[in-house]
Amino acid sequence: MTAAPSPTAAPAQPVAPFLPFTRPTIDDETIAGVAEVLRSGWITSGPQVKAFEAKLSAYCGGRPVRVFNSGTCTMEIALRIAGIGPGHEVITTPLTWVATSNIVLDVGAKPVFADIDPVTRNIDLNRVEAAITPATRAIIPVDLSGQPVDRDRLYAIAKKHHLRVIEDAAQSFGSTWQGRRIGAFGDFVSFSFHANKNITTVEGGALVLNDEREAKLAEQYRLQGVVRTGYDGMEVELIGGKYNLTDVAARVGLGQLPHLETFTTKRRELARVYFDRLAQLGAADLGLGLPVADFAHTNWHMFQVMLPEQRLALKRAEVMAQLHAAGIGTGVHYPAIHLFALYQRLGWKAGDYPHAEYAGRNILTLPLFPGMTPADVDRVVTALIGILKANRKS
């Protein structure tokens, strides 16, 4: 008697790998170049830093550029070069990484917040002008997600009121304004090359300056205020810090910079797919807020949506948890600064900046990086829309 054949199990479905909200793309040539630097014995600031600064200066139209170990100290140093300190006020946005206002406190000045434009999510320039007082010395605008603040209006306000501008362009390297690269014009411009930025040095940043006098001051602030002359001459004229970038990090940046245009093009393509798929699956009917569809200026550093708080039975954390369970990473950029305990102790409170507070509760960063595919975007959108539909308030 012939035994009945055993049933054949259905083939296992492949499990999609976890999709983070961002991931750097570093090629083999850059990795090999880092190994060469390590073998050279010169691994702290040296020839690679000089070469990286020269490339960045060329990118910024020949303006002086100095690199640092973060995109935070760059802004603090710009404030110090501008002579801003105790008794002065600096206007900025409450919807940004807290470093943007912390550095104002670090130099002894007072941050003054102006609420955001709920459409662009950048600082509302109408509110900036209304916030200016005799103590105001500078404005720090932030290009959230790489979407540039209106530079024409910004600099008109600064010129009218004799203010310095420290552009927090941490997220907008590769963005443009009216055909000009961010960094190629304006006052101080601060870039970040953190691992989640469009190009990276792992950690690091750069400050674009106006002239060689400011560049020399930046160098002093970068390394304990030291000025060297000859073989053994050393002088210290001001208090600096330990902010120098290593040659290892600079070599990563030198490898990243040639890919900037390709990275930006890919990010824009993926952003278009996001808009298309969200429209097809009815995001507008669900009340999901989308970013400005700006393909002329922004580098699409992030793709951020605004959850429909009034229509959704879940909090943002629960949406993020469900996406994580589906193998999709997300981020929050950012909570409203003035609601942190430090800032509440300084006098700010809930209700001060309602647009920033709403965004701080509901903004959600979706995956976007050059290594993604349109299929990855489809996976994210399908999962997100499914969660929103399943958890609508009745």
Q: How far apart are CA 201 and CA 49, in angstroms?
A: 11
Annotated active-site residue in 55, 160, 197, 389: 197
Query: Which pair of tokens denotes residue 233?
Result: 């001459």
Question: In sequence order, what are the residues at sequence separation of 6 or more whose Cβ sits closer than 8 angstroms to the Cβ of residue 226?
Answer: 220, 234, 235, 236, 240
For residue 261, which phi and psi values (nearest 5 degrees)? -65, -40
CA–CA separation, 362 vs 39, rounded Å? Answer: 48
**Counts of helices then strands in the chain (DSSP H, E):** 13, 13
Residue 315 bears catalytic tag: no
Largest CA distance in the chain: 101
Residues 6+ away with beta carbon under 8 Å from 4? none
- Gap between the Cα atoms of 361 and 187, Å rounded: 33
Q: What tokens does 301 get?
A: 């550093």
**Nearest-angstrom CA–CA distance, 239 and 40:** 32
User: Is 255 in contact with 353 (CB distance < 8 Å)?
Assistant: no
Q: Residue 308, Cα to own-chain centre: how many angstroms?
A: 24
Cα dist from 213 to 76, 209, 216, 220, 236, whole Å: 17, 9, 5, 11, 16
Return the CA Rg of the chain.
23
Q: How far apart are CA 148 and CA 92, in angstroms?
A: 14
Name the residues annotated as catalytic: 197
